[in-house]
Structure 1
Amino acid sequence: MVALESYPALVLNADFRPLSYFPLSLWSWQEAVKAVVSERVNVVSVYEREVHSPNWAMRLPSVISLKEYIPAARRPAFTRFNVFLRDRFACQYCGDELPAHDLTFDHVVPRALGGRTTWANVVAACSPCNLRKGARLPRQAGMHLRRWPTEPSTFELQENGRSFPPNFLHQSWRDFLYWDTELEQF
């Protein structure tokens, strides 16, 4: 039998959109069951798997929606991960797409030259490009940015996150994750 940990619930906001795409908003089966029992969520879809107590049984939720809408943050947090997500996990110098653990943070205007650690001065870079650029400006190193860094909106990060599907997608989640996919014609 498959372990219960293999039954996460996709969490949708009250408008039926995922709270986040990357990382995908998932709750463990325990969190989902607690939220259902405390009536904080609506069950949208369920797995075949059940959990039991001495006096009740419940099919595990696969998709739940919050009863109260949570507005998206107006400004995204300035984190390494969000910089990589803004830059679509690609080096902004050579364009190579890499996993997050193979990317580095590069200051376009190096800190040694007065550059600050802000959205407008930090980009994702692969290690070879970061080493090549060093403590110089891109033009001094003969390098060009593919896209000049700016502060992204929360919406932009969500849209970028939709381009990177997780390793596991349960069938019941598909209708809620790809709002703009072309519908099948019958």
Structure 2
Amino acid sequence: MTVAVSPDACPALVLNADYRPLSYYPLSLWAWQDAIKAIFLDRVNVLSRYDRTVHSPSFEMRLPSVVCLKTYVKPSRNPAFTRFNVFLRDRFSCQYCGARDDLTFDHVIPRSRGGQTTWENVVAACSPCNLRKGGQMPDDCGMRPTQEPFQPSVHDLHRNGRAFPPNYLHDSWLDYLYWDSELEP
């Protein structure tokens, strides 16, 4: 799964005040118009620019490609329990068969049997597996998730998000992404 980013749109990579991306998936990007507005409101520092410019009758500016917030935004400790974040935690694959298409989510312990809609009981599942499992308990149908469901940290989601880079990464972004990756000897 990739996030569609058009190089023609000249998006700006947005870094927190500690020079880390606000998020990896989706990658923290602003439209060039929002980046310029933030520059004029003195909310960001420009770290890198595109070769393209915008201008008015009395002003010209190269479009920013990387901006850094001047004020640190404290990341949430606990990510929101959303369908997208469940899929991201489970790496966009069915936890029963590994398929990546037609994803939905499944209650490991069915709601009809007292299962709750929580991080610890919901997994990504393809529609065929979800239908096959139905309202059965995992042991009754022989369908155990490959990974026990758990509440992920923001770090867990960022780590998983780095496995799904957008379809476009501008050269100027590379110094700020994957900074915690192992370096080649």
Q: TM-score range by the shorter chain?
A: over 0.9
Identity of aligned residues (%): 65
d(CA) in 1 for partners of 2:27 and 2:7? 19
> Equivalent residue for 1:156?
156
Q: Is the 8 A contact 1:9 1:61 kept in 2?
A: yes
d(CA) in 1 for partners of 2:179 and 2:141? 42
Alignment of structure 1 residues 1-186 onto 2, 5 Å: 6-96=9-99, 98=100, 102-183=102-183
Q: Which blocks of at least 5 consecutive residues in structure 1 are unaligned?
A: none
d(CA) in 2 for partners of 1:139 and 1:55? 71
Q: Is the 8 A contact 2:106 2:123 kept in 1?
A: yes
Q: Is the 8 A contact 2:7 2:168 kept in 1?
A: no
Q: 1:67: Cα distance to partner?
A: 0.2
d(CA) in 2 for partners of 1:134 and 1:128? 10
Q: Give the aligned residue type for 1:53.
A: S
Q: Give the aligned residue type for 1:145.
A: P
> Equivalent residue for 2:3?
none
Q: Give the aligned residue type for 1:120.
A: E
d(CA) in 2 for partners of 1:106 and 1:19? 29
Alignment: residue pair count: 180
Q: 1:183: Cα distance to partner?
A: 4.1
Q: Is the 8 A contact 1:91 1:124 kept in 2?
A: yes
Q: Give the aligned residue type for 1:65.
A: C
d(CA) in 1 for partners of 2:8 and 2:15? 19
Q: Which blocks of at least 5 consecutive residues in structure 2 are unaligned?
A: 1-5
Specify the SS of the correspondent of 2:174.
helix
d(CA) in 2 for partners of 1:127 and 1:60? 44
d(CA) in 2 for partners of 1:108 and 1:7? 43
Q: Give the aligned residue type for 1:12.
A: L
TM-score normalized with structure 2 length: 0.92
Specify the SS of the correspondent of 1:11.
strand
d(CA) in 2 for partners of 1:10 and 1:4? 12
d(CA) in 2 for partners of 1:51 and 1:35? 15
Q: Give the aligned residue type for 1:163.
A: A
d(CA) in 1 for partners of 2:181 and 2:124? 29
d(CA) in 2 for partners of 1:181 and 1:66? 23
Q: Deviations over 1:120-142 (max 9, x none)?
A: 10000011111110000111111
Pick 1 or 2: higher relative contact order, CA cutoff 8 A, min separation 6. 2
Q: 1:182: Cα distance to partner?
A: 4.6
